[in-house]
Structure 1
Amino acid sequence: MSEHQPLSVDGQPQQLNQDEATQLAEELKQQIRNGVIPAGDSDSIERMVAGLGDPRGLMRLTFAESLGVVGKAAVPSLCRALSEHDSVTVRRAAAKTLTLIEDPRALPVLLKALLNDPDPVVQGSAVGAMAAVGAEAIDGLLEVLINPNSTAMQLGLASWGLAFVGARAPEALRNAATSDHAEIRCAAIAALGDQIQSLDDSEARGLVEQGLKDSDRDVRAEAATLLGKLHNPAWAAPLLEPMLNDPEGQVRKNAALSLMKLQATASRPALDVRLSQEDQTDVQAVLKLAINQLDQAG
């Protein structure tokens, strides 16, 4: 992401009253209906950006769609609005409009909004816009995952963004799954499901299997959970049964829950053996639940 030059976000935003916004929106809709791209000069763009603060949702949509048609020329003004505007409505709309344009130059500003904007909708829309850019957004999303100051919501949004991008950039996601940072490996493993199901990616399968042997508890737990979501008990059950003996209780629980979700009735004896040896009450409860559900499924 560092290869993109930061956009200038200096300047004062314009404002439109409702009559001006209505007139401008009608002009823009007529232009688009006639196949005419709205004017891309700075003054015209600033007026459209000002329209993103209109209290009428359909009006904001017209301005957002028009800016999307203008495309890359609108990115500096949208980044300025996202970074500096006092109105949360404008910041939300600016982030959503950047999603339509998919310009990598906006990534630094979008990352800043994810990490610093106090509004959760702005944060979520910023991640959506980052994910729309594709593989070039991965570095920024990974920065969020290893940032000790990231909130639980920011971590969740970054993980979602990583999964979304991974479907379009599988190689980048596979690289993340072998990162030196456990947080990144964990998020990448969780995001591999689409590649395995949609692309039958054998490399991704191998990374999940590798994740089951990871030195980090959370990575092993995430890999065990993912196996339960892939609807392939013939592959997953033999991998999950040894995880019932993992030294970490959370991993044992996740393995049992995944066997239950897969309706892996052939794994019932392995669950029985684990239950007879288990000394953690929370893990015992999960094992009993899994056994009960498999009995019903069988």
Structure 2
Amino acid sequence: MELRQIEAYLDSPNPQERMRAITELRHYAPEVVVPLLRRRMSDKEFIIRSFVAIGLGRKQTEEAFEALLDLLEYDTDSNVRAEAANSLAKYGESAIPHLLKLFERDSNWLVRQSILASVEGNEYPDGLLKLCRWGVEGNNREVKLAAIANLGQLQGTPQESEALAVLLSLANADDGEIRAQVARVLSSFDEPRAKAALLDLRYDSDYRVVGATLEGLV
């Protein structure tokens, strides 16, 4: 699609045409795309703003980075903020401090899940450990489960011992699903404390926990 047509579609009252325009922008250079994407950052349709966030992650410029920070700060829809967080993570190390601050201030489970999924433990182990600590201290079960799972990424990193300590502190959690998740992750740690805790969990009163301890043996 020619750029003139894309610009016309971006201003169309039809959201399908606006989405098509944003999709077509993938064929153009960042210096052309980013200013056009910014025009739709306040679109009334959250799906359009989500498409904008995705596009800003693909066309990486300083202007796009700042635009993503604006979406994270001001957009009221958690779906948009989650997409913006995922896109921001594509910028690498420069994004990590912003993602940590966002996780602290934004308690929405979808946003936090997106951040946890986008930070790689082998590249940013210290940042991931902080996210996981905050995740397990929060009130949302799904975020807790994701944080526990991500602690497994820290095996073999300088943060391995601290990650294991967090896991061991959750081995006696009241929630059986939490204990089961801990058991799954502990099986990846080749360390005496992990093996001892895993053996204790094998005799747990919850069948889900027992089953989780056996998964690594299959």
The two structures have a TM-score, normalised by structure 1, of 0.53
Q: Which amino acid aligns with 1:211?
A: G
Structure 2 residue runs of 5 or longer lacking an equivalent are: none
Alignment partner of 2:68 out of 137, 146, 169: 137
Aligned to 1:147: 77
- Is 1:287 paired with 2:213? yes
Cα root mean square deviation, aligned:
3.8
- Aligned residue runs from structure 1 range 1-298, under 5 A: 48-50=3-5, 77=7, 80-84=8-12, 86=17, 90-94=21-25, 97=28, 99=30, 101=32, 103=34, 106-107=37-38, 109-110=40-41, 112=43, 115-117=46-48, 126-131=52-57, 132=60, 133-141=64-72, 147=77, 150=79, 157-158=83-84, 160-165=86-91, 167-183=93-109, 184-191=111-118, 193-194=119-120, 197-199=122-124, 201=126, 205-232=129-156, 233-264=160-191, 266-279=193-206, 281-290=207-216, 292=217
What's the offset of the Cα at 1:178?
Answer: 0.9
2:105 is matched by which residue type in structure 1?
S
CA contact (8 A) 1:244 1:252 kept: yes
In the alignment of these two chains, the number of paired residues is 206
How far apart are residue 224 of structure 1 and its match?
0.9
Change (3 A) 1:81 1:209: same
Return the offset for 1:161: 2.1
Larger deviation, residues 265-274 vs 97-106: 97-106
- Looking at structure 2, the residues matched to 134 and 100 of structure 1 have their Cα atoms a distance apart, in angstroms, of 13
- Structure 1 residues 162-210: Cα deviation after superposition (integer angstroms, max 9, x where no partner): 432564322211111212524234433444x33x533554x65334323
Structure 1 pair 160–250 and aligned structure 2 pair: CA distance change class (3 A) = farther
**TM-score after normalising by structure 2:** 0.69
Output one character per residue of 1:136-160: Cα deviation in whole Å (capped at 9) or x when no partner: 313425777x737x5xxx7874553
Cα offset, 1:276, TM superposition: 1.2
Aligned-residue offset at 1:264: 4.9
Supply the AA of the counterpart residue of 1:288.
L
Which letter maps to 1:93? E
Q: Which has the larger radius of gyration?
A: 1
Q: Percent identity?
A: 16
- Aligned mates of 1:257, 1:247 — CA distance in 2: 17
Residues 25 and 33 of structure 2 are in contact (CA less than 8 Å); yes or no, is this contact kept in structure 1? no
User: Which letter maps to 1:127?
Assistant: A
Residue aligned with 2:90, SS = helix
